[in-house]
Amino acid sequence: KQAEKSGYDHFMLKEIFEQPKAIRDTIRGRITADNSEVVLEEVKMTPEEIKGLKKIFISACGTAYHAGIVGKYVIEKLARIPVEVDIASEFRYRHPIIEPGTLVIIISQSGETADTLAALREARRQGARVVAVTNVVGSSVSREADDVIYTWAGPEIAVASTKAYTTQLLSMFLLAVRLATVRGEMKPEEAKEIINEMKMLDTKAQAILDNSVEMREYARELARSKCVFFLGRGLDYAVAMEGSLKLKEISYIHAEAYAAGELKHGTLALIEEDVPVVALTTQDDLFDKMVSNIQEVNARGAAVLALATDGRTEVEKVAGRTSYIPKTHPVLAPVLAVIPLQLLAYHTAVERGCDVDKPRNLAKSVTVE
Ligand code: G6P
C-alpha cells in the first residue's frame, strides 16, 4: 500500500502532485504540431453538425458537475452556444427540452455513477447526441455515449477527486476551442494563443505545487474553524464551489461557496470577527469588483485569504493574506486556482486527523441512485 503511494502519505496528495503529468497527458495528441488547432478526433461530429448546434446540456455529479459549470462559462464565452448545467439526479426528472441540434455532455470520472448514467440514457432516449468525458476506458458511460473524450488522469484512488477534475477542465477547454473554431467564433490567432497557454499549464501547476508549504501553514489556522466561505465571480465562483466541496468532503468543516456579488443579499450577515474567507481574484475583468467584495468582508473582521494572479499585489491592501498563482489566459485560470484549494483542503483534513483518502459516509463511485 505504501509503495502504491510512491512515498506520499495519502493517495490524495499523490494525485494532487500528479496533476502536471495528467494535464500533459490529456492535451497530448489533441492539438496540431504547430499549436494552431485543436484536433479532438474522438468527437466525430461533422463541421455541419457542429455548426448546427443550438443548445448544449452538461450533466454530472459532485466534482464532475463543478467541471461542468466551468465548461458552461467557457463554451458560452468562446463558442457562443447556450449551455445549461444540471446535476444528473435533477436533469432526468425535470423534463429537459431536447430538440434537434441539442448536444449533451456527460462528465464522470468513473463512468459508473448511477445518476449520471441515467441522465445519459434519458438524453439519448430523447434523441440527443451525447459526448462523454470520462477517465475510465470501457466504463458504462463510455460505452453508451456517441463520442468519448477520455481524461488521461490515470487511476484516481482517493475519494476526493483532484486530478480527474483538472483533466475534465482541460477536456472542456479543448472542446470549447474546437467548437469555437469550427463555428467561426474564434480567430486562428486567438486559438493559437489559448493553445499555447494550455501547453504551459503543466509547468505553472508545478510551480504552485513547489510552493505547497504556504497552504500547509494556512491550513493550521483553518483547521480550527467551524465554517469557511469561498467567494468568487465568474469562473472563480465555479472554482470556489469545488474548493468548498473539497474542504467539506475531507475535513468535515462546513464550507459554502458564494458568488461574491450575492454576498450582500444574505451571507454578509454571517461574516464576523475571524470567520475565514477564501477569495478568488483570478479574473481580470472582475478584479476591481472582487477587491471591493473583499473590503466588505474585511471591514466586518473576516480573516481573508486572497488567491490572486502574480503581480496583482493591490489585493494585499484588503486581504490579510495573499497567495499568488501564475498568470495564464483567464479562461484557463481554474486549472491553476483549484490547486491551492485542493492543498488547503488536504492539509486541513490532515491537521484535524481525518481519514483523508476515505472520508466518512462517502464512496468513490456511487452506483446506486
Ligand atoms: C462521488 C465521489 C465524488 C465524485 C462523484 C461523481 O460522490 O465521491 O468525488 O465527484 O461521485 O463521480 P464520477 O465518477 O461520476 O465523476
Print the SS3 string covering 171-184. HHHHHHHHHHHHCC
Q: How far is the CA of 121 from the centre of ligand 1 (A)?
A: 18
State ipTM.
0.98
pLDDT (0 to 100) of residue 83 = 98
Contact 92, 137 (CB under 8 A): no
Look up 364 and say whether it is catalytic. yes
Which residues fall within 8 angstroms of residue 244, CB to CB, at 6 or more apart? 228, 230, 255, 256, 257
Of 86, 109, 244, the residue with max ligand 1 atoms within 8 A of its CB, to mutate for a pocket test, comes to 109
Q: How far is the CA of 89 from the centre of ligand 1 (A)?
A: 13
Q: How far is the CA of 103 from the centre of ligand 1 (A)?
A: 22
pLDDT (0 to 100) of residue 298 = 94
pLDDT (0 to 100) of residue 272 = 87
Nearest CA among 89, 106, 102, 93 for reference residue 141: 106
pLDDT (0 to 100) of residue 1 = 65
In this structure, the dihedral spanned by the alpha carbons of residues 236, 161, 349 and 221, taken in order and rounded to 10 degrees, is -10
Contact 101, 126 (CB under 8 A): no
Lookup result for grid cell 461530429: 45
User: What are the Cα distances from residue 341, in Å, to 52, 262, 347?
Assistant: 38, 21, 10
Cβ–ligand 1 distance for 109 under 6 Å, the answer yes
Please, is 366 exposed, middle or buried when counting C-beta atoms within 10 Å of its C-beta (0-12, 13-18, 19+)? middle
pLDDT (0 to 100) of residue 236 = 98
**Side-chain-facing half-sphere of 6: CA atoms under 13 Å:** 8
Which ligand 1 atom is the nearest neighbour of the CA of 363? 8
Of 69, 115, 116, 161, the residue with max ligand 1 atoms within 8 A of its CB, to mutate for a pocket test, comes to 161
Q: How far is the CA of 312 from the centre of ligand 1 (A)?
A: 34
Strand order in the sheet with 55-60: 83-87, 55-60, 102-108, 129-134, 147-150
Digit-by-digit pLDDT tens for the chain (369 residues) are: 666 898 999 999 999 999 999 999 999 999 998 999 999 999 999 999 999 999 999 999 999 999 999 999 999 999 999 999 999 999 989 989 999 999 999 999 999 999 999 999 999 999 999 999 999 999 999 999 999 999 999 999 999 999 999 999 999 999 999 999 999 999 999 999 999 999 999 999 999 999 999 999 999 999 999 999 999 999 999 999 999 999 999 999 999 999 999 988 988 888 888 899 999 999 999 999 999 999 999 999 999 999 999 999 999 999 999 999 999 999 999 999 999 999 999 999 999 999 999 999 898 988 888
Of 59, 69, 112, 113, the residue with max ligand 1 atoms within 8 A of its CB, to mutate for a pocket test, comes to 113
Three-point CA angle 49, 53, 55, nearest 5°:
155
Q: How far is the CA of 274 from the centre of ligand 1 (A)?
A: 32
pLDDT (0 to 100) of residue 114 = 96
pLDDT (0 to 100) of residue 44 = 96
Three-point CA angle 77, 83, 84, nearest 5°:
135
Contact 207, 336 (CB under 8 A): no
Catalytic-labelled residue, pool 77, 248, 327, 364: 364
Q: Determine how many CB atoms are found less than 10 A away from the CB of residue 360.
A: 9
Read off the pTM: 0.97
Tens-digit pLDDT profile for residues 344-368: 999 999 999 999 999 998 989 888 8
**Side-chain-facing half-sphere of 213: CA atoms under 13 Å:** 2
